[in-house]
Amino acid sequence: MENDTLIVRVQETVAEALQVPIRQVAPNLAFGGIKEWDSMGHMGVMMLLEERFGISIDAEIIAALTSVPAICEYIQKTRKD
Amino acid sequence: MSAQLHITPRVTIPDFLVGEVQSKLAYVDESIVRAHVASTGDRITLDLREQAEDPKRSELEEKVQRVVTSMVQGAFKPKVQILENYLDRPVPSSADPNPELLARGEMFQEAAGIFTVGPLVTRLISFFERQFIALADSFGAAPYRFPTLIPAKSLERVGYFRAFPHSLSFVTHLREDLDAIDNFAQHAACDEHGLNTPVDSFAKIQALLSPAVCYHLYFALADKPLPGGKLAATAVGNCFRYESVNLASLERLWNFTMREVIFVGPKDFVLQNRETGRERMRGFFEEIGLAYRVESANDPFFIGEFKKQAAFQSAFQLKFEIRAALPFKQSTLAVGSYNYHQDFFGRSLNITLPDGSPAHTGCIAFGLERMAFAFLSQYGLDAANWPDAARKFVA
């Protein structure tokens, strides 16, 4: 998957999980950057990422995936592995 | 006539969720007097007040399956982190303290989850209180006194109803209506189910019994800049968490007492003080020879919120419990906790730092009755066998 495409897909997933328009999810958006990305929102993002990208996110990783770039990096790394 | 109902869950309950699911099953239906989940997670046994026939039986099964599915599907396995482990510390007693507490009049049950404690236990609690106040003083914590009631509006503002609906305790009073008050005065009586008064005699609920101490401080600081940019405070108060059939002895009370040391300010201030507090308490626990462990934990969120909130707490290491050994049942009991709420209360209640950002909060909390109960489980009721500091204090 091209990097740009991945970023857009992650933005779409984050927006859907947080129930906000995609324009609010900037490519560098991080946890706490908008009020919807709070603790509950974050876990919604994690669950939808698992579903949409077919990846497994364990508790060790949840605290690290706190921005769109960090999520993209993790998905790319997971797919290479 | 009591009866049992065995249910095979549609999804197997993983070991890390067996206890959580079991505790939530108590809230499924009023007919349940005890719920047990097999350690293998593939069998649930409900003890019922009476035999359940269809459609009641099917309704119970469906509700149980709903709880299990909601909590298990997509659950994140928590990251268990142990910060201190002194569970193997030798302690002199392995006897259940409950019979002796009752026999000596040191514990008296008024109703389920409502207990009075006697002079020895009271003095022992004062001993622990002295230590917890010393901990607060070491941070220069300002003393506060908070009410037992807490406004419904305030709890709504921090999402408490969504997170912990099952454990709420509501407060009301008779409506300002002469007929309702007269009727109550003449006819109020208790039967085996409680007060017989019609529900419409009572006013709408505006207040609840407080479930925690630190919330009151956050409400007092709401909607304004935090004076001085940081604050350490301390208070002791009655707390109320209804735990249905899980209520048991001094281990799990409906009405209990909590001492908290509370921090409000920048992230580093809160986290550093939480850690410093833990180190200071380790010295005290060593002095009294307490067998305990400090490990990551989560709050008992209700079913709908559990999966996400518990995983979030675990992932971000927001809560660590002090779990003291109960040798008589080869288990542990949470007697305190070290908590960090990030900027949840700062955002929810608009408590701001000098730079305009939301304040972070955290607290160190001790359950006083549980602390005493765990100590008595490890040392017994004969003060002659207690560590010096405790023995001298109660003498």
Residue B98 domain-assigned (yes or no): yes
Percent of chain B with pLDDT over 90: 86
Task: State whether B44 and B93 are in the same domain.
Answer: no
Which residues of chain A make contact with B308, given a CB cutoff of 8 A? 39-40, 43-44, 47
ipTM of the complex: 0.73
Residue B77 domain-assigned (yes or no): no
> Which of A18, A31, A34, A43 is the best mutation test for B, with the most CBs of B within 10 A?
A43
Task: State whether B374 and B269 are in the same domain.
Answer: yes
Q: Do A40 and B76 touch (CB under 8 A)?
A: no
Query: For B341-366, what is the mean pLDDT?
Result: 95
CATH (domain of B347): 3.30.930.10
**pLDDT given at position A1:** 57
Task: State whether B91 and B141 are in the same domain.
Answer: yes
Please, is B68 exposed, middle or buried when counting C-beta atoms within 10 Å of its C-beta (0-12, 13-18, 19+)? buried
Query: Six-digit token pair at B175?
Result: 């409506």
Q: Which helix (H) or strand (E) holds A69?
A: helix A68-80
pLDDT exceeds cutoff 90 at B193: no
Residue B163 domain-assigned (yes or no): no
Task: State whether B114 and B191 are in the same domain.
Answer: no
Of A43, A57, A59, the CB nearest to B78: A59
Which residues of chain A make contact with B78, given a CB cutoff of 8 A? 59
Q: Chain B contact for A39, CB < 8 A? A: yes
Structure confidence at residue B247 as a pLDDT band (50, 70, 90)? confident
Structure confidence at residue B395 as a pLDDT band (50, 70, 90)? confident
**Residue B156 neighbours by CB distance under 10 Å:** 11
Percent of chain A with pLDDT over 90: 59
Q: Do A39 and B309 touch (CB under 8 A)?
A: yes
Query: For B245-255, what is the mean pLDDT?
Result: 91
**pLDDT given at position B379:** 98
Q: Do B347 and A63 touch (CB under 8 A)?
A: no
DSSP state of A12: H
pLDDT exceeds cutoff 90 at B80: no
Query: For A58-64, what is the mean pLDDT?
Result: 83
**pLDDT given at position B299:** 86
Domain encompassing residue B51: 3-72
Task: State whether B16 and B110 are in the same domain.
Answer: no
pLDDT exceeds cutoff 60 at B176: yes
Of B77, B309, B316, the CB nearest to A58: B77
Beta strands in chain B (DSSP E): 3-7, 32-37, 44-48, 82-85, 107-111, 114-117, 142-143, 149-151, 170-171, 190-191, 194-195, 207-209, 224-225, 231-240, 255-265, 292-296, 319-326, 331-340, 351-352, 360-367
Residue B191 domain-assigned (yes or no): yes
Of B74, B315, B342, the CB nearest to A59: B315
Length reported for chain B: 395
pLDDT exceeds cutoff 80 at A52: yes
Domain encompassing residue A66: 3-80
Structure confidence at residue B309 as a pLDDT band (50, 70, 90)? confident
Which residues of chain B make contact with A57, given a CB cutoff of 8 A? 76
How many Å lie between the alpha carbon of A47 and the closest alpha carbon of chain B? 7
Query: For B308-325, what is the mean pLDDT?
Result: 90
**pLDDT given at position B192:** 84
Query: For B6-19, what is the mean pLDDT?
Result: 94
pLDDT exceeds cutoff 80 at A2: no
Higher pLDDT, A56 or B256: B256
Cα–Cα distance, B82 to A9 (Å, whole number): 37
Higher pLDDT, B50 or B228: B228
Task: State whether B65 and B113 are in the same domain.
Answer: no
Higher pLDDT, A40 or B353: B353
β-partners of residue B334 are B323
Which residues of chain B make contact with A40, given a CB cutoff of 8 A? 305, 308-309, 312
How many Å lie between the alpha carbon of A27 and the closest alpha carbon of chain B? 23
Closest B-chain CA to A32: B343
Residue B116 domain-assigned (yes or no): yes
How many structural domains is chain A composed of? 1
Structure confidence at residue A4 as a pLDDT band (50, 70, 90)? confident
Residue B156 domain-assigned (yes or no): no
Structure confidence at residue A81 as a pLDDT band (50, 70, 90)? low
**pLDDT given at position A57:** 86
Of A39, A44, A58, the CB nearest to B344: A39
Q: Do A43 and B342 touch (CB under 8 A)?
A: no
Task: State whether B280 and B339 are in the same domain.
Answer: yes
Residue B131 domain-assigned (yes or no): yes
- Which residues 53-72 of A are in CB contact (within 8 Å) with B? 57-63
Of A32, A39, A61, the CB nearest to B312: A39
Backbone angles phi, psi at B60, to 5 degrees: -60, -45
How many Å lie between the alpha carbon of B305 and the closest alpha carbon of chain A? 8
Q: Do B74 and A50 touch (CB under 8 A)?
A: yes
The residues, ordered by sequence, that sit 6+ positions from B334 with a Cβ below 8 Å of its Cβ are: B297, B321, B322, B323, B367, B370
Task: State whether B328 and B375 are in the same domain.
Answer: yes
Peptide bond into B151 cis (omega under 30): no
Task: State whether B360 and B308 are in the same domain.
Answer: yes
Which residues of chain A make contact with B315, given a CB cutoff of 8 A? 59-63
Which residues of chain B make contact with A54, given a CB cutoff of 8 A? none
CATH (domain of A20): 1.10.1200.10
CATH (domain of B11): 3.30.70.100
Residue B206 domain-assigned (yes or no): no
pLDDT exceeds cutoff 80 at B326: yes
Task: State whether B111 and B18 are in the same domain.
Answer: no
Query: For B89-99, what is the mean pLDDT?
Result: 97
pLDDT exceeds cutoff 80 at B55: yes
pLDDT exceeds cutoff 70 at B254: yes
Closest A-chain CA to B304: A40
Which residues of chain A make contact with B74, given a CB cutoff of 8 A? 47, 50
How many structural domains is chain B composed of? 3
**pLDDT given at position A61:** 87
A61-65, A74-78, B238-242, range with greatest mean pLDDT: B238-242
The residues, ordered by sequence, that sit 6+ positions from A49 with a Cβ below 8 Å of its Cβ are: A10, A13, A17, A55, A57, A65, A71, A75
Structure confidence at residue B99 as a pLDDT band (50, 70, 90)? very high
Task: State whether B182 and B248 are in the same domain.
Answer: no
Mean residue pLDDT across chain B: 94
Domain boundary among B16, B37, B72: B72
Which residues of chain B make contact with A32, given a CB cutoff of 8 A? 343
**pLDDT given at position B1:** 59
Of B76, B308, B343, the CB nearest to A59: B76
Task: State whether B249 and B328 are in the same domain.
Answer: yes
pLDDT exceeds cutoff 60 at B53: yes
